[in-house]
Structure 1
């Protein structure tokens, strides 16, 4: 396969052209203090807030486990993580220095990965990589489609329950970052999943570029060493592969953030080709029309 250049490339000074040295300092800095330590139970999900300028660590404290991760702007849930655009701007499996981007019309980095203990996993003999943006969350609708049975604790369902206290619903759940998940495409272009390579103590750290609401589901498939569908897999087989996931949040000393500011959205001032002058719309609104 030809090593073609990426379609989306960083121009100097663009948000893709990040200051590696700044984020590398955050990864090793002693000027941080832990302000929260949480745990996502097996086959369940948790939602939490992360203020801008803080670091969150997602960690496999007890053993390998896949997590399905969603993000929203804390103050505007219409702005949420955009997995497909992140896949285009960054890559199909993310790691250190990659950014997680938000939906239109906001289109700005929500978080930047500062540390990844699985960064050296690379590409395995099957073409598998970790921290996947190729697939999305498991859900009860696909389960019903494939098996004819109902199961209420898929990642989609877990995330739905987790965000209810923040006034969000199933319609706010979106395509995920599959943290610690090892996936790829086979020779037929079909999506495959492999056993999670994480060990106790592995982690992914992200710097919050804006105020975030986050949610993470501990996948009911555990470390994915057992097939979710097909064969003779039983629920007890899957349950034996499940572990909780830890969440830690760190505040950073002010001097570490010198020169940093939350990112802004692109200053697009066009009207998507609409010909109606803006002042006409303003006048019609004032008149109570439309």
Structure 2
């Protein structure tokens, strides 16, 4: 007996049908791109940066497995930001090459399209785990206090909060994340589980900015998640924490010729409150 079909299906030519040949050219022609920014995030820290529309951004694991919690906003309008739940429905609970990360209502358009994923070989493991997940969200000090009775200020929510302050955003702008390099799934009790990241030194996750973006990334205090954060076996996982690298590249104009930022959703927003006549 086969599995049920996906609920959200689109017609030919919709925004879900990415031009894979276009994105593959961007990924393949690395010689036709210019490095415009590069930095390394230390362990248990966060940083925000801009990615102009039409540029590429690569997140890497320079020293080995490390989970990163990623937030994305429209640079000019932070109300338009990553919508993890809708992306799960439109693309999948775990994302890879050619998938798109979608923005919130009333905009509902691609923020980014994934162009490269060196972990695409991982697939689904024996426990149902997969990488780059939208199933869970960032660790935070509020849940940690509830679970342990202790305060800790380097959870991903706090790292992201500190990271966006220079850009005029606050804790209220931090939202559900894409967990880059994280391996997760649902167990037989339909509960969320996390496994050790399979990333190796030099692995990467790369995306194309479909609009002007503000991105923020946290190097998770759980490191590669090989050590439990909560429960009877929990201990400080600082020994499995590693940095993450970020690069922003400008592709050659010839590679993006004919591309333009996707328009916002075509629905006119009446919601039955305005008589169209």
SS in 2 for 1:121: coil
Identify the range of structure 1 (7-16 vs 114-123) with the bigger mean alpha-carbon deviation.
Answer: 7-16
Which residue of structure 2 aligns with residue 223 of structure 1? 224
Q: Residue 139 of structure 1: CA displacement?
A: 0.2
SS in 2 for 1:142: helix
Which residue of structure 1 aligns with residue 177 of structure 2? 176
**What is the TM-score of this pair, normalised by structure 2?**
0.97
Describe the shift of the 1:233–1:116 C-alpha distance in structure 2 as closer, same or farther (beyond 3 A).
Answer: same
Cα deviations across residues 223-280 of structure 1 (Å, max 9, x unaligned)?
0000010124322xx00000000000100111001111000112212410114679xx
Q: How does 1:47-62 map to 2 (within 5 A)?
A: 47-62=48-63
Is the contact made by 2:101 and 2:112 (CA closer than 8 Å) also made in structure 1?
yes
Which residue of structure 2 aligns with residue 201 of structure 1? 202
Which residue of structure 2 aligns with residue 211 of structure 1? 212
SS in 1 for 2:240: coil
Identify the range of structure 1 (31-40 vs 66-75) with the bigger mean alpha-carbon deviation.
Answer: 31-40
Which residue of structure 1 aligns with residue 17 of structure 2? 17
The CA distance in 2 between the partners of 1:157 and 1:28, in whole Å, is 36
Is the contact made by 2:228 and 2:235 (CA closer than 8 Å) also made in structure 1?
no
The CA distance in 2 between the partners of 1:204 and 1:275, in whole Å, is 44
Q: Residue 6 of structure 1: CA displacement?
A: 1.1
Instruction: Find out whether 1:252 has 2:251 as its counterpart.
Output: yes
Gaps of 5+ in 2: none
Which residue of structure 2 aligns with residue 31 of structure 1? 32
Instruction: Find out whether 1:6 has 2:6 as its counterpart.
Output: yes
SS in 2 for 1:93: coil
Cα deviations across residues 193-233 of structure 1 (Å, max 9, x unaligned)?
00000000000000000000000000000000000101243
Describe the shift of the 1:15–1:148 C-alpha distance in structure 2 as closer, same or farther (beyond 3 A).
Answer: same
Q: How does 1:62-101 map to 2 (within 5 A)?
A: 62-101=63-102
SS in 1 for 2:157: helix
SS in 2 for 1:39: strand
The CA distance in 2 between the partners of 1:112 and 1:267, in whole Å, is 20
Which residue of structure 2 aligns with residue 133 of structure 1? 134
The CA distance in 2 between the partners of 1:34 and 1:212, in whole Å, is 17
The CA distance in 2 between the partners of 1:113 and 1:83, in whole Å, is 15
Describe the shift of the 1:7–1:277 C-alpha distance in structure 2 as closer, same or farther (beyond 3 A).
Answer: closer
The CA distance in 1 between the partners of 2:178 and 2:117, in whole Å, is 14
**What is the TM-score of this pair, normalised by structure 1?**
0.93
Cα deviations across residues 86-141 of structure 1 (Å, max 9, x unaligned)?
00000000000000000000100000000100001000010000000000000000
Which residue of structure 2 aligns with residue 102 of structure 1? 103
The CA distance in 2 between the partners of 1:262 and 1:59, in whole Å, is 26
Whichever of the two has the greater Rg, that structure is: 1
